[in-house]
Amino acid sequence: MTASEYQAMGGLPHWSTLSLPHQVAQLIVVRASGYLFDHQIQYPEWEPPAAVLQHWLSNLGMGGVILLGGSAVEVASRTRQLQDWATVPLLIAADIEEGVGQRFSGATGFPPPMALGAIAQRDLHAATTYAEAMGAITAEEARAIGINWLLAPVVDVNNNPENPVINVRAWGETPEQVSQLTTAFLRGTKQVLTTAKHFPGHGDTATDSHLDLPVIPHDKARLMQIELPPFQQAIAAGVDAVMTAHLHLPALDPVYPATLSPALLTGELRQRLGFKGLIVTDALVMGAIAHRYGANEAPVLALEAGADIVLMPVDPVGAIEAICAAVESGRIPVERIHASLERLWRAKQRVCSPFIFGDPPHARQQTPPPMAIEALARPQALTTASAMLRDSMQVYHPESSRLHSRESTDKHNLILVDDALSCNFLRRQAPAIALPQEWGYSLQVIDSYTPIRIQEQSTQPPSATLLQLFIRGNPFRSSANLLALAQQWLIYLQQTNQLQAVAIYGSPYVLAQLRPQMPPDVPYVFTYGQMPAAQAIALQALFATAPAQQTSRPREFTD
C-alpha cells in the first residue's frame, strides 16, 4: 500500500494492515546521512546511498531513520525527502544532546549537559531554568527541520571520571542532580519524542562500548541507589523512550548484556519500573554487540529481551529476515511483535504531522509545508546558550599574572586538538584562532597525528605561549593519549618559562588533572563548550584585566 493510499484511509493505517515483513521492518531504525547527495556521504559503512535507502523505506517499509551531518536547512529538505519515500510516516531521530546545532550547523548549540550540573551546584533554580529552556529550544528547532525524535537526554550518572563515552554528556555525578535536570529538560520537550539513555546506567565504566563490552560489577542494590533513580524520574516525567546500554552486569544477568537481557528490559524496566513507552536499543553496529553476537542474531535477541525498536543493525535487510524467521519458527511469539507495534503506533500518532498522513491523497505533493527555518538560532536561543556558557565557566586571574607582562616578546598560540582535519569548531575564523591572531599571536595547531616531538621545540626561540586544549570524552578513541600529550606540553612550556596562559575547552576532569601542574602565576579559563561561542566568551574573559563579571540569573523561560 502506498503513502497516498494510507492518506486516503484518513490517517495512519493500523499496523495489522501490513504484512509480517513490513511489520518487522517498522521496528527497524536505520542510519542515513543528513546531506542530500550521495557524494556528500561521510560514513559510507553506515550510511547507504540514496537508491538503497529509498528501497528500504519505500519497498521494505523501515520504520525510522537516524540522521547525522549537514546543515539544518539541508536536513529540513532531507526529512521531507525521506517522508516522501516512506510507506508509513517515519520516526526521524538524531543524537541531539547539546541542541540541534550540535549535529546540524546553523541551529543553536548548547554546552554539554554537565555545564548545567556545574551551575546546579551553586544555583539549582538557575540550572533547572536553563535545562527547561534548552529542552524547549531543542524541541522547537528539531521539529522545525523535520526531526520528531530526540535521542536525549542522557540520564546516566557519570560517577567515573575515566568514563570515555558518557563524561560531560551527563548532567552530573549524583542521581539527585541528574534527576532534577532531566525532569526540567523533559518539561520543555513536548513537541517531540524523547529518550532516556542508557539503561540501566552507563556512568561507571572506563570502557567505551563503541569498541568493547564494559563489565559492571555492581549488584541490584547499588543500581537502585545510584543508577536507576534518574530513569525512574524520567519515566515519571513522561519520557517517551528508554535506550538500552551495551554493558554487562553479571549480578543481574550472568549471560547477556543489558541490550539483550530479558531480566533487565522485561523484568526490570518493563515490569518493575512500569515503563510503558518504547524500548530502543543503542546502535547494534557498536563493537560491544556487533563483535560478539553477529549481524542477524543480535536483533533477534534484542526483541526477545523486550526491545521494541532495533537501532542501526549491521545488516538491516538481514535483520528483518532473521526476525521474521524467528517469528515463523515460534522462537519469538507474534504477539511480541504486535505489542511493540502498538507502542510504536502510539508514538507515531503523537508526533508524525497530520499533514503527512491525515490529508487527502496527493495534498502533500500539491502544497508542501514550508521549512520553518525562522525557528532556528533565534536571538533568545543564542542568548540563553551564551548565558549558560558564562555561568558554567571558570576563570583564574592571579594578582601577579604573566598574561600582560610580556607584551613586547614574541607571542605564540599553541592549540592542541584531537583531529584537526575533522574539527568543525576550529575553522580559520574560529575565535580560538582569530582572536589571538588579532592580539599578535602566531599560530601552531597540533593534533594526535602531528609528527612532532616536544623536545624539538627547544631549537625554537622562546615566546609567551597561550596554550589552548580541546579535550573531552572521545567515543571510538580514548582521549587519554591527548591528555598525556597536553601534560607534556604543559611541563615543557613551564620548564622553558614560556607558559603565559591556558584555555581548556571540554572536560572538567581534564582541568582537575592539569590544575596541580600549573604555576600559581599562570591564568587559565575553563569552559565546557568547544564551539565558537564558547571560545569567544572564554578568551575574552581570560584576557580581561579583571575576572569576568558574573552573568545575571536566567530569566524564567516560557513557551
Q: Which three cell numbers stand for residue 69?
A: 551531518
Element at 351 (helix H, strand E): helix 334-351
List 210, 315, 397, 410, catalytic entry: 210
Q: How far apart are alpha carbons 268 and 224 in whole angstroms?
A: 11
C-alpha cell at 123: 544555583
Q: Are strands 524-527 and 464-471 parallel, antiparallel or unpaired?
A: unpaired
Residue among 95, 204, 282, 359 flagged as catalytic: 282
Q: Would you call 210 a catalytic residue per the annotation?
A: yes
Runs of H (alpha helix) within 278-333: 287-293, 297-305, 316-328
Instruction: Return the CA Rg of the chain.
Output: 24
> Cα(522)–Cα(403) distance, rounded to whole angstroms?
7
Q: How far apart are CA 61 and CA 451, in angstroms?
A: 49
The residue length of the chain stands at 559
Q: Are 195 and 139 in contact (CB under 8 A)?
A: no
Contacts for 483 with CB less than 8 Å, ≥ 6 apart = 471, 510, 513
* Structural contact between residues 392 and 111, judged by C-beta atoms closer than 8 angstroms: yes
CB 468 within 8 A of CB 482: no
Q: Quick one: 533 exposed, middle or buried, by C-beta within 10 A (0-12, 13-18, 19+)?
A: buried
Bridge partners of residue 199, in order along the sequence: 244
The torsion region of residue 85 among left (phi > 0), alpha (psi -120 to 50) and beta comes to alpha
Q: Decide if 282 is catalytic.
A: yes
What does the longest C-alpha to C-alpha distance in the chain come to?
A: 80
Q: Which of 533, 423, 558, 410 is closest to 115 using CA atoms?
A: 533
Rounded distance between C-alpha atoms, residue 74 and residue 417, angstroms: 28
- CA-to-CA separations, 35 to 47, 70, 82, 482, 483, in angstroms, rounded: 10, 5, 12, 31, 33
Nearest to 340 by CA among 321, 316, 358, 323: 323
3-state secondary structure 470-495: EECCCCCCCCHHHHHHHHHHHHHHHH
**Cβ count near 210 (within 10 Å):** 17
Positions annotated as catalytic residues are: 210, 282
